[in-house]
Structure 1
Amino acid sequence: MYIKTFEEFYQKAEELFLANQRKTRFSIKYRNREKKFVLKVTDDRICLKFLSKQQQDIKKIEILTTLFLRGHAASSSS
């Protein structure tokens, strides 16, 4: 099941990540034939997915990536 809007996906992904930073993972797949991105965030219990065919969503993907990188960097340094 895919979440329809990026804003909703980001909000739920952030909640999931903050609840369990050590187990939450984030992946990006680009399907060249269909020219679409699939974002996935999971903690092995809950799986969130977002699908986009819009080039302008690349900037939004960058924002989500930054959330995970900063969060993991902070949790590994403590």
Structure 2
Amino acid sequence: MVFAKNWEDFEIAAESMYMANPQNCRYTMKYVHSKGHIVLKMTDNVKCIQYKAENMPDLKKIEKLSGNLMGHMASKE
């Protein structure tokens, strides 16, 4: 498992991973209350990339990424 160093790297890797293999991709989000951060994880059974969000502005970015992924999942393509 690899942690992305910044948000842009994670976002690009997550979307490209989903577009390459949508049937096997999984996207999870876990909130760790004791540490006060959210861990995002995208995997396709071969590769796995993670991102740890520790501040409030990242929540808007997470919401945008989740919306984009849901849009891809709901489209016919």
- The reply to whether TM is greater than 0.5 is yes
> 1:1-78 maps to which residues of 2 (within 5 A)?
1-75=2-76
The gaps in structure 2 that reach 5 residues or longer are none
| Residues 26-63 of structure 1: CA deviation (Å, up to 9, x unaligned) | 11000011000100001111101001111110001011
Determine if contact 1:25/1:43 at 8 Å carries over to the other structure: yes
The TM-score with structure 1 as length reference comes to: 0.90
Identity of aligned residues (%): 30
CA RMSD of aligned residues (A): 1.2
Q: Give the ranges of 4+ consecutive aligned residues of structure 1 lying more than 3 Å apart after TM superposition.
A: none
The TM-score with structure 2 as length reference comes to: 0.91
Aligned residues: 76
